[in-house]
Structure 1
Amino acid sequence: MIDSLVAFLTTHADPALAIVLFTLAVRLLLLPLVIKQARSAKIKERLAPKLRELQKRHSKNPERLSKEMTALYAKEGSSPFAGILPGLAQVPFMWLMYRVATHPTALAGHYLFGAPLGQNVAGVVASFGLVSVPFLVFALVIVGLLVVAWLMSRRMRAAATADQPEMLRKILPLLPFASVVTAAVLPLAAGLYLLVSTAWTAAERTVLFRPVTNQPL
C-alpha cells in the first residue's frame, strides 16, 4: 500500500511538492477531528474551577467523584474522554504521512533545490560539504522547524497553569523541539514533512485552542 501510494505521488508531481500537498491534504482531512478536540479542550478549561471543587469535595470517594464529573461534562454535551478519541484517530494518518516522507527507495534521485530528498544532514555534508547549496536547503528547513518549535513552546509556557505539576510545566515546552532533532537525523523529505505538519499544528492551536476567558460557567 505504502509503495503504491508513494509511486503515485512521485509519478504525478514533483516529489517535494507531492510531500507538501499530501501533508496538507491529510491535515485538512483531519481538521474536523481537531475542531472537535479543541471544543473538548475549551469545555474542560471552562469547567476547571468546578472540577477542582468536586475533587476537593469528593477526594475520599473516587466513585462519587467520577459520577459527579461525568454529570458535569454531560451538561455541556461532552465527556472527560471527548478530547482523547479525536487525538487517537489522528495517529494512523500521521503514521501514513511519516511512512510516505521516509520511504527508502522512491525518493532516491529526487531533489529539493539540489538537495537530495533521501539523504539526512550527515549524508548531505559528506556528499556536498558544509559550504554548499544542498546543505543550505537542509539548514533552512531545520531553521524553519526551530522557529515553529520556539513559537509553540512559547505558547505552551503562556498556557501553563499553576495547578499543573511543576515537572510537567518544565517538560511540555521542550517537546516541540523534538521535531528539530528528528529532522537532523532523518532524510530531508521527512524534515520537509515535519516543517509543513508542525507549522499547520501551530496555526491550528493559535486559531482553535485559544484560552477561554471571561465566560460564565
Structure 2
Amino acid sequence: MPSFLDVPVSGAYHLVNWIALTIQPLTGPYAAAAAIVLCTVAVRLVLLPLSVAAARGEKSRTALLPQLKEITERHRDDPERVRREAAALQAESGSVFAGCLPMLAQLPFFWVMYRLFSTAVVAGQSNQLLAGTLFGAPLGLHWPLLTATPAYLGLAVLLAVVAYFSARRQARLVEQPSTALSARLIRLMPYGTLITAAFIPLAAGLYLLTTTAWTLVERTVLLR
C-alpha cells in the first residue's frame, strides 16, 4: 500500500482503538465491534446534510409520478417523446445523482475500514484490533469460515432483512417510466450487500450492516 494511503488507515486505527479501550469496561470482548458501530454512526451523522438534500430531491421526484404517468399514457405510441418529456420533467426536480451522494461519500470510510481489518501491522505496530471478536469470530475473519461462525451467519441474515425492507421501499420507483430490466435491478440492488459481505472482513461487514440499517431508518423518517 502506498505510504500516503497509510495516513487515513493509521488515523482510523488510533481512533477506533482509543474508542474500544474507552468503552471496554462496558462492552468487554465486544469493545472493538462496538467501536466500529459508534464510528459508523458518527460518519452517518457527519453526512446527514447530504442525506437530507438527497431525501428532498427524492420527495420532489416522487411528486412527479402522476405527471410522468400521464405523459406515458398520452404518448404511449411515441417512446422517444415519452423519454424526452420525462427527462425534461425530472430535470426540474434536480439531479438523480444527488441521491447517490451519501453512498459515494461513504466509500473512503468503507475502504479504510476494510484496510484496517485486513492489515496485520498498522502505524508500525501490531494491529491490536484484529484481536477483537464478535460472538467468538475474529473481526478480521473472511468468508471461508462462514459455515463455522454464527457471527457471519447472523450478519448475513440481518443484511438480508435490511435489504428486503430497502427493496420494498425502492419498489415504488418502478412506477416511473422504466424498462422491466431497470425495474428488476432497482429491486435487486439492496441485496448487493450480501455479495459484498462475502469478500470483506467481518468488521467491514458490521460497518456495512450498520450503515445500510441507518439508511433504511433515515429514509423512512425523512420521506414520511
CA deviation digits over 1:131-166, x for unaligned, max 9? xxxx11111111111111111122222442052221
Quote the residue 2:194 is aligned against: 180
* Contact in 1 for aligned 2:146/2:153 (Cα 8 Å): no
Does residue 84 (structure 1) correspond to residue 97 (structure 2)? The answer is yes
> 3-state DSSP class of the match of 2:64?
helix
Whole-Å separation in 2 of the counterparts to 1:92 and 1:150: 23
Among candidates 109, 112, 132, match of residue 96 of structure 1: 109
Q: CA RMSD in A?
A: 3.1
1:117, 1:189 within 8 Å by CA — same for their partners in 2? yes
* 1:187 alignment partner AA: P
Give the one of 6, 17, 25 matched to 1:10. Answer: 17
Aligned residues of 2:54 and 2:101 also touching (Cα < 8 A):
no
TM-score by length of 1: 0.74
Change (3 A) 1:204 1:168: same
Q: Does the 8 Å contact 1:33/1:87 carry over to 2?
A: no
What runs of 5+ residues in structure 2 fail to find an aligned partner?
1-7, 21-30, 120-126
Q: 2:44 aligns with which of 27, 30, 49?
A: 27
- Residue in 1 aligned with 2:64? 47
Query: Aligned in 2, Cα 1:163/1:188: closer, same or farther, shift over 3 Å?
Result: same
Conserved 8 A contact 2:50-2:101: no
Unaligned runs of 5+ in 1: 74-78, 211-217
Does the C-alpha gap of structure 1 residues 109 and 40 become closer, same or farther in structure 2, counting only changes over 3 Å?
Answer: same
Matched, 1:143 2:157: yes
Bigger helix share? 2
Shift of 1:6: 1.8
Aligned to 2:124: none
Taking structure 2 as the reference length, the TM-score comes to: 0.72
Secondary structure in structure 2 of the residue aligned to 1:180:
helix
